[in-house]
Structure 1
Amino acid sequence: MQLSEFIDFDAIKTALPAGNKRVLLQQAVQLAAQRLGLDPAPILASVIERERLGSTGFGQGVAIPHGKVEGLTRIYGLFVRLAEPIDYKAVDGDKVDLVFLLLSPPDAGAEHLKALAAISRVIRHAPTLEKMRGARSGDALVAVLLGADERDAA
């Protein structure tokens, strides 16, 4: 699976002013719910429930909050870069500034894992992370993410 199959490139935010983890999750979920035409409350509840199991701050300044959402018909991904890094309780203790929100239908087990794997391939590539942090516009971020898709497909 490639990022282009589930990331909403039209909703990328380049300098989201989150302030803290709770505000970040609320803002990202609100944006996703708006784009999907869904109620944000159950989405936020799902994402927060997953965070209770353990932080989705995967290290290197990246977090992948995710959850299963009733009423969702496809895997949906949203990418935001924060205006300032925040404490996310990441596994490596680093602050987070790059966030992939991943939402899946309740029965999308294998597809959910494939989407997580696609994100993981991107965030394990340090030059791509550097380009993501240096991109000055949404279009530039889209180009970096699509470039990562092409590199991973090769």
Structure 2
Amino acid sequence: MNQIYPYLSSSNVIFFNSMQRATKKRVFEEACLAFQMSGVAHTQVFEALYARERLGNNAIGAGVTLPHCEIEGLKRPLITIVLLQRPIHIDPPPYDNKPVDIFFFLIVPKTDNDDEYLPLLRECIAMLENKTLCADLRKAENAVEICSAIMNWTAPTVLARESQEDALENEWDLLNEEVKAQRKEEEESLVVAAVENNA
């Protein structure tokens, strides 16, 4: 089990057959239509994904890419997977210049904490770098098999350890902020008391 599976629905798994003419834009359109069925405005998610694409390449290599972005007002992360029977070349090209046939879309809620969903993104990258898992996705014949393959994938223990360390670091930062705020309050109270005594 992993933290990815709960955010994937079989209705958000899309197969392109060899008769369909796939382009990067068309794949993104199909993914955004699936997100729209989950309650996210098509235009909003399409523009956010493409804006993130312009910042840098999201391709992992070996025929896999991970377009992702933050969405204002989203309640929980959502995933859509698009699998192509025939790989396509995308722009910007992946570091290995290989055509892509697995598009794994991840959208997460926009929050004040930029690192909140970093562990989930790390886990997605680790999963998509797993050659066995990707082979299972490529030979899957339906959405149930895709979901099953992802559900049965186990994240490396190092990722769980990093997530715990991130959580502890965030907790420590919050504690430090509370201590600073308390000290500031105490200092302000002393200043007020000193002014009152002088008066």
TM-score range (shorter-chain normalised) is 0.7 to 0.9
Structure 1 residue aligned with 2:32: 29
Paired with 1:121 and 1:130, the residues of 2 have a C-alpha distance of: 14
- Code of the residue aligned with 2:77 in structure 1: it is I
The 2-side partners of 1:50 and 1:29 are apart by: 14
Larger radius of gyration: 2
> What residue is the counterpart of 1:51 in the other structure?
53
1:56 to partner: Cα distance: 1.0
Q: What is the TM-score when the length of structure 1 is the normalising length?
A: 0.87
Tell me the CA shift for residue 101 of structure 1.
0.7
Corresponding residue of 1:72? 74
Q: What is the distance in 2 between the residues matched to 1:111 and 1:146?
A: 22
1:2-151 → structure 2 map (5 Å cutoff) = 2-15=3-16, 17=20, 19-35=22-38, 37-88=39-90, 89-107=93-111, 109-148=114-153, 151=154
What's the CA shift string for 1:121-150, capped at 9, x where partnerless?
A: 2112111111111111111111111111xx
Unaligned 5+ segments in structure 2 are: 158-199
Aligned-residue offset at 1:117 = 1.2
Structure 1's 153 and 59: CA in aligned 2 closer, same or farther, altered over 3 A?
A: closer
| Cα pair 1:7 1:78 within 8 Å, conserved | yes
Per-residue deviation, 1:152: 2.2
Equivalent AA in structure 2 for residue 34 of structure 1: M
CA distance in 1, matches of 2:47, 2:28: 10
State the shift of 1:18 in Å.
5.7
Q: Cα 1:12–1:128, aligned 2, differ >3 Å: closer, same or farther?
A: same
Number of residue-to-residue matches in the alignment: 151
Partner of 2:187: none
CA RMSD of aligned residues (A): 1.9
1:153 Cα offset (Å)? 6.5
Greater relative contact order, per chain length (Cα 8 Å cut-off, separation 6+)? 1
TM-score by length of 2: 0.69
Q: Which runs of 5+ in 1 are unaligned?
A: none
In the superposition, relative to structure 1, how do residues 98 and 43 fare at CA in structure 2: closer, same or farther (>3 Å)? Answer: same
**Separation of aligned partners in 2, 1:10 and 1:19:** 20
8 Å contact kept, 2:61–2:94: yes
Structure 2 residue matching 1:77: 3-state secondary structure: strand
Distance in 2 of aligned mates of 1:62 and 1:45? 21
